[in-house]
C-alpha cells in the first residue's frame, strides 16, 4: 500500500479526529488511526468504541489500496514538525512496517492489523433530518457548560435535543443550573428527541467551524450519525428519560432586575475571589435601584462588598447565588443587558437576555439559589 498526501491536509484532518481519542485505552488498537482506501479516497477513522469519527481526504497519489492501523500520537507529533509538503507513506501490509518520507527525512514505525479496529455500528430504522451548522454550534455552545457529571444521573451528562414541527430545543442541566435554548428556524416534520453525550458534542463543536453546508443527522434508539463536509461522526446516545425540565422553571416571578451584563459579570469575578472557595456564595441585596453584592470567606478573613446601579421592580430582597454558576451563565449570553427574574430567596432565579440578535432565538437560564449564612 502506498499513498502521497499533503502534510498540512493530513495534519488538520488527524487533529480533528484526535478529540475522539482517549488518553488511556483498555484496547491498544484504540490508540491508532485506521487508514483504508474507499472509492479512491483515503478514509481515516478514530474511535473509543462509544464515538467513532471518520474523515475522507483525496491523496495526491495512491497505489495498491489496502488498510492498516497507524499509532496516532507519534504520527500527529511527526506531522506537526513539517512545513506544507508532500508526505509519502509506503506500507508493507505483511510485516505492518510503515515508511514515511518527507523531503530528505525518512521514518519507520510499526502499524497494526486493520481487522483489530472496532467496526462502527450500523443504524437500522434511522430517522434523518438536516440542520444549519451555525444553529448546531450555537445550541452546543449555549448549553454544554450546564451539563452534569454525576455518574448516578447519566442522562444529565449530555444535551437533550428535541425537534418539533415548530422549533428545535437544546437543554442541559446539572440540577444546580439549567439552560434552555430554542430555535424557531430549525424544525422537523415530526417530534423527535434524544440525549447526546458531552464528548462527541465537543468534537462536533470544534470541527463544524469551517462547514457551510447543512449537517445531516440520522438517529435511532441507540446511536446518532452526523454527516458534514468530508466528516462522519457516529456516537452512542445516552439512554434514559430526560427530567421534566419545564416543571422546574418558575412561572410567577414578580421581582425583576435589569442590569448591564458585563458590569455584573466583572463584579462577580471580583467577588468570587473573596467568597468561600467551596460554596462560592455571593449575597445579593436588592433595594430601590441598587444591587449590593457581598462575599465572605471566614476561614481566611476575606470579604468584599460592591454596589451596582440597576433597574429593579419588586420588593426589597436578599438572595444568595453561586458565583461560579452565575459567571458561567453570564459568559454565555450575548446580550448587552440581562434580566434577572426572582420570586422568593429559596426559589430559582431566571436569567434572560434583554436584547435578541435573532428573532428565531430564545434563551432561558435558570440558577438555583444557595442558602445564605
Q: What residues does 236 pair with on adjacent strands?
A: 223
Pick 2-116's CATH classification: 3.40.50.11030, 1.10.10.10, 3.10.150.10, 3.30.230.10: 3.10.150.10
CA distance 356 to 74: 47
Write down the CATH superfamily of domain 249-367.
DNA Polymerase III, subunit A, domain 2 (3.10.150.10)
Which helix (H) or strand (E) element contains residue 228? strand 223-228
In 261-358 the beta strands, taken as DSSP E runs, fall at: 281-287, 290-297, 302-309, 311-313, 317-322, 337-342, 349-353
Domain 127-244: which topology? DNA Polymerase III; Chain A, domain 2 (3.10.150)
Per-residue pLDDT tens digits of the chain, which is 373 residues long? 999 999 999 999 999 999 999 988 889 999 999 999 999 999 999 999 999 999 999 999 999 999 999 999 999 999 999 999 999 999 999 999 999 999 899 999 999 999 999 998 888 888 899 999 999 999 999 999 999 998 889 999 999 999 999 999 999 999 999 999 999 998 888 899 999 999 999 999 999 988 889 999 999 989 999 999 999 999 999 999 999 999 999 999 999 999 999 999 999 999 999 999 999 999 999 999 999 999 999 889 999 999 999 999 999 999 999 999 999 999 999 999 999 999 999 999 999 999 988 889 999 999 999 988 7
What are the residue ranges spanned by the domains of the chain?
A: 2-116, 127-244, 249-367
pLDDT at 338: 97
Label residue 196 exposed, middle or buried (CB < 10 Å: 0-12, 13-18, 19+): buried
Q: Does 127-244 match 249-367 in CATH topology?
A: yes
Q: What residues does 322 pair with on adjacent strands?
A: 281
C-alpha cell at 20: 475522539
Amino acid at each position: 500500500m502506498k499513498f502521497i498526501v499533503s502534510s498540512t491536509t493530513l495534519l488538520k484532518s488527524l487533529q480533528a479526529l484526535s478529540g475522539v481519542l482517549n488518553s488511556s485505552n483498555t484496547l491498544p488498537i484504540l490508540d491508532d488511526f485506521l487508514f483504508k482506501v474507499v472509492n479512491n479516497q483515503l478514509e481515516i477513522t478514530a474511535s473509543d468504541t462509544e464515538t467513532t469519527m471518520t474523515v475522507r481526504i483525496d491523496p495526491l497519489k495512491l497505489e495498491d489500496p489496502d488498510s492498516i492501523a497507524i499509532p496516532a500520537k507519534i504520527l500527529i507529533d511527526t506531522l506537526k514538525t513539517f512545513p506544507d509538503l508532500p508526505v509519502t507513506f509506503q506500507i508493507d501490509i505483511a510485516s505492518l512496517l510503515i515508511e514515511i518520507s518527507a523531503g530528505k527525512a525518512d521514518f519507520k514505525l510499526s502499524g497494526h492489523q486493520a481487522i483489530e479496529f472496532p467496526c462502527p455500528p450500523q443504524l437500522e430504522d434511522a430517522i434523518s433530518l438536516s440542520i444549519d451548522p451555525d444553529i448546531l454550534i450555537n445550541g452546543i455552545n449555549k448549553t454544554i457548560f450546564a451539563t452534569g457529571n454525576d455518574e448516578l444521573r447519566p442522562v444529565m451528562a449530555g444535551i437533550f435535543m428535541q425537534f418539533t414541527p415548530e422549533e428545535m430545543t437544546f437543554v442541559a442541566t446539572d440540577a444546580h443550573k439549567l439552560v434552555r435554548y430554542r430555535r424557531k428556524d430549525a424544525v422537523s416534520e415530526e417530534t423527535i428527541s434524544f440525549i447526546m453525550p458531552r464528548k462527541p458534542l465537543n468534537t462536533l463543536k470544534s470541527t463544524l467551524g469551517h462547514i457551510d453546508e447543512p449537517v445531516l443527522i440520522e438517529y435511532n434508539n441507540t446511536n446518532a450519525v452526523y454527516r458534514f463536509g468530508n466528516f462522519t461522526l457516529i456516537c452512542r446516545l445516552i439512554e434514559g428519560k430526560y427530567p421534566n425540565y419545564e416543571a422546574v422553571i418558575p412561572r410567577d416571578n414578580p421581582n425583576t432586575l435589569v442590569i448591564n451584563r458585563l458590569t455584573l459579570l466583572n463584579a462577580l469575578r471580583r467577588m468570587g475571589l473573596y467568597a468561600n472557595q467551596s460554596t462560592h456564595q455571593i449575597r445579593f441585596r436588592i433595594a430601590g435601584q441598587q444591587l449590593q453584592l457581598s462575599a465572605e470567606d471566614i476561614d481566611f478573613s476575606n470579604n468584599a462588598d460592591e454596589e451596582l446601579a440597576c433597574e429593579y421592580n419588586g420588593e426589597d430582597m436578599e438572595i444568595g447565588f453561586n458565583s461560579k454558576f452565575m459567571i458561567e451563565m453570564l459568559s454565555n449570553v450575548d446580550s448587552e443587558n440581562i434580566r434577572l427574574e426572582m420570586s422568593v430567596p429559596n426559589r430559582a432565579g431566571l436569567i434572560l437576555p434583554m436584547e435578541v440578535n435573532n428573532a428565531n432565538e430564545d434563551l432561558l437560564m435558570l440558577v438555583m439559589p444557595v442558602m445564605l449564612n
